[in-house]
Amino acid sequence: MARDDAALTRMLRMSMLLDTYGSLLTEKQREFMRLHYEQDLSFGEIASEYGVSRQAIHDSVKHAERTLENLEKKLLLVHQAQRLDERRAIAEQLLDLKQRIQQQGIIYNSEWILRDLTQIVEGLLARHAESAPEPEGPAEDEAAEPSALAGNTV
């Protein structure tokens, strides 16, 4: 099952890279990539359709993959779009929480607010930790623990 997940992840990544940078590939590379990744055709199926060898299709697709990965490594457009999507999701969570607070009026029991805020903060910290480079030494200024929110009241 992990292999299927890896293949799906690879297919999605290549599709995103192709959507973003595809116009920078040759017409044939772009077509072969679309057929292979978006239509799930094998190299052999594409080769027979175009009257070329399977190896020629393989080489063209692998060269296009390297080109797309190199472009992303330099420009980071797909990475930035993914981070923007994550920020939007977090903003939506916070907006939902704000609306729920407004609907409650005077709040005597703020446990649910603290629980939801803690989950959001933990999610932010986890995402930050995944994308942040490893620090070279121990940080003197550690970020506040999400549990520190428990002392705050609304």
pTM above 0.75, yes or no: no
**Helix locations, 23-143, DSSP H:** 27-33, 43-50, 54-75, 77-104, 111-131
Q: Please state, rounded to an integer, the average pLDDT across all residues of the chain.
A: 81
Closest CA to 12 of 39, 35, 38: 38
User: What tokens were used for 51?
Assistant: 């009257």
Does residue 150 carry a pLDDT above 50?
A: no
Does residue 91 carry a pLDDT above 70?
A: yes
Length of the chain: 154
The SS3 assignment for 41 reads coil
Q: Which CATH architecture describes the domain 2-75?
A: Orthogonal Bundle (1.10)
Q: Over the stretch 2-13, which tens digit does the pLDDT of each residue have? A: 668 898 899 999
Q: Supply the angle between the helices 54-75 and 43-50 in degrees, to the nearest 10.
A: 110
Residue 143 pLDDT grade (very low, low, confident, very high; cuts 50, 70, 90): very low
Question: What is the rounded end-to-end Cα distance, in angstroms, of the chain?
Answer: 45
User: What tokens were used for 125?
Assistant: 């910290």
Q: Over the stretch 112-126, which tens digit does the pLDDT of each residue have? A: 887 888 888 787 777
Q: Which residue has the higher pLDDT, 140 or 83?
A: 83
Q: Over the stretch 29-71, which tens digit does the pLDDT of each residue have? A: 999 999 999 999 999 999 999 999 999 999 999 999 999 999 9
Torsion of CA 54, 57, 58, 61, to 10 degrees: -160
DSSP 109: -
Look at 5-9, 22-26, 30-34, 93-97 and tell me which has the smallest mean pLDDT. 93-97
